[in-house]
Structure 1
Amino acid sequence: MRNIVKELQRLQAITKQLRDPINGCQWDRVQTFASLKSYTLEETYEVLDAIDKQDTDELKKELGDLLFHIVFYADLANEQELFNFDDICQSVADKLVYRHPHIFTDNQTQKPNWEQLKQKERDQKAQYSLLDDIPKAIPALMQAEKIQKRCASVGFDWNDIIAVLDKVKEEINEVEQELEHPRQDPQKIEEELGDLLFATVNLARHLKIKSEQCLKQANKKFTRRFQQVESILKQKNITLIDATLEQMEAAWQSVKQLEQIKLNSEVNKND
């Protein structure tokens, strides 16, 4: 069995060498916390993509890339005498022990109240608002869900799914009203569309569905169907540029019918 500590130390040494101001990599040595943000986000999504594909070999590589970013951030911080990799490990270990007293203390009968523990942490940081520590950089759908869950934890929430659905319908009506206005205000339309998206996330949350994953699945389905539309048109020697909307719509409906036939066939096999 390989020595995990040794491998981690090797990764840290490689990172430090890449950051060497004289003999290091020109790209690595000029990076900052801010410049790495978009790359870290990209690596995170690549990890998630490997999980969705159930490609464990690719997942191993992508997790390695993500770990490199953490080591990189730690090296940047260490250079500025802010913190180091050990501090990062200690911080998360302390937090996990604190949030799991039923696991790491003698009192193993009482399960913790997560929101009470988190509120205590916010109080210790002199955090004024319940929503202050929700990350601003995460995708908007995830951010909306976190805001709603945090508010729900103190009772600020709809009582039943019908009320949530009614709110979605109300927001659709308000979008329609703005679109029917004689002098459309783009900013007002954008605001109402935002309210509609926020209400839709709320509906998904009440249905125990992750909005981000839900939209990803919709994107995946649309992409699959549109690629089949392209294939159908190509078989007819029609390019997308030359195709009429009617031809594309006919191909789209054909794709949907074929999917339904396939689905019905699979259901019949299982009966």
Structure 2
Amino acid sequence: MVDFTLKDHYTVQDLVDIVRVLRAPGGCQWDAQQTHESIRRNFLEEAYEVAEAIDQNSTEHLQEELGDVLLQVVFHTSIEEDAGHFHLDDVADGVCKKLIFRHPHVFGDVTVSSTGEILANWEELKKKEKGQATQADAVDAVARSLPALWRAEKVQKKAAKVGFDWDSVDGAVDKLSEELDEVKEAISGHGDPAEELGDLLFAAVNVSRFLKVDPEDALQAACDKFAARFRRVEEEVTAQGKQMEEMSLSELDAIWNAIKHPDTH
């Protein structure tokens, strides 16, 4: 039995102590073997589960998932503490200094009149803080680990800040159509399909940005819509006493269209 006092209510410091016990000799062999790389995906999954709790508007679920994210923060920090690099207070110190530096209108003598000015100042201070001398540096600094749709959106927003952007959504839509034509050409043997598909998706994100639509949310909604309609197609096929594998694509497509446009049937 390890030397640890059980309580009715624990604090952040208790979490730090528990992780230390788990990773120490005599603790948990699995925890002791983990590295930043081995639990990298865990961190991402926990962050997405926080997002799911927010979408569900569930306070109880959110509290639980935030705890899982906090565990990841403490765990990664514990690895670095054992290596003699930094501890949790250093992590807190860094983010506190960052917040103070990026809020001169709160902690300094800068005056702002709108949230737009606040965000503009934030971006400039962020560039200064990270040593980004050019806007290209800012574009390059967008994390490659982001979901590709979000990365594309952030890259485009960075470029737009210096005027490298369409005047309106019309230009973005025209570009989307152009990229679709290039995909068709690539399929017929004139170009790299993967490259052209990437350009098409990038152009689609540009359109979503002009429409102020989160591209990730839009695609998730499309996935949900497809899944719901697919289920209804399968249910209709089953009601006819058949199996989907037995039916032709045209027959399935007819059912799909009937579900998609019920008023026309």
TM-score grouping bracket, smaller chain normalisation:
0.7 to 0.9
Q: Which runs of 5+ in 2 are unaligned?
A: 1-8
Quote the offset at 1:125 in angstroms: 9.2
Q: Which residue of 2 aligns with 1:158?
A: 166
Contact preservation (8 Å) 2:237, 2:244: yes
In structure 1, what is the Cα distance between the partners aligned to 2:13 and 2:158?
39
Counterpart for residue 16 of structure 1? 20
Q: Which ranges of structure 1 fall in alignment gaps of 5 or more residues?
A: 262-271
Q: Counterpart of 1:129?
A: 137
User: Does the alignment pair 1:138 with 2:146?
Assistant: yes
Deviation (angstroms), 1:66: 1.0
Q: Which of these residues, 58, 70, 73, is aligned with residue 73 of structure 2?
A: 70
Letter in 2 for 1:145: E
Q: Distance in 2 between matches of 1:219 and 1:127?
A: 35
Instruction: Give the CA deviation at 1:161.
Output: 1.4
Query: Do the aligned residues in 2 keep the contact of 1:115 with 1:153 (CA within 8 Å)?
Result: no
Task: Give secondary structure in 2 for the equivalent of 1:137.
Answer: coil
Correspondence 1:148 to 2:156: yes
- Alignment correspondent of 1:102: 105
Kindly state the Cα deviation for residue 193 of structure 1 after the two structures are TM-superposed: 0.8
Task: Please name the residue that 2:5 is paired with.
Answer: none
1:174 aligns with 2:182: yes
Question: Which residue type is aligned with residue 196 of structure 1?
Answer: L
Q: Does 1:229 align with 2:233?
A: yes
- The residue aligned with 1:58 is 61
2:48 alignment partner in structure 1: 45
Matching residue's letter, 1:197: L
Q: Give the distance between the partners of 2:148 and 2:80, measured in 1 at CA.
A: 28
Identical aligned pairs, as a percentage?
Answer: 40
RMSD between superposed Cα atoms in Å: 2.4
Mapped contact 1:50–1:58 kept (Cα < 8 A): yes
TM-score with structure 1 length normalisation?
A: 0.84
Shift of 1:16: 1.0
Q: TM-score, normalised by structure 2?
A: 0.86
Would the alpha carbon gap of residues 239 and 60 (structure 1) be closer, same or farther in structure 2, given more than 3 Å must change? farther
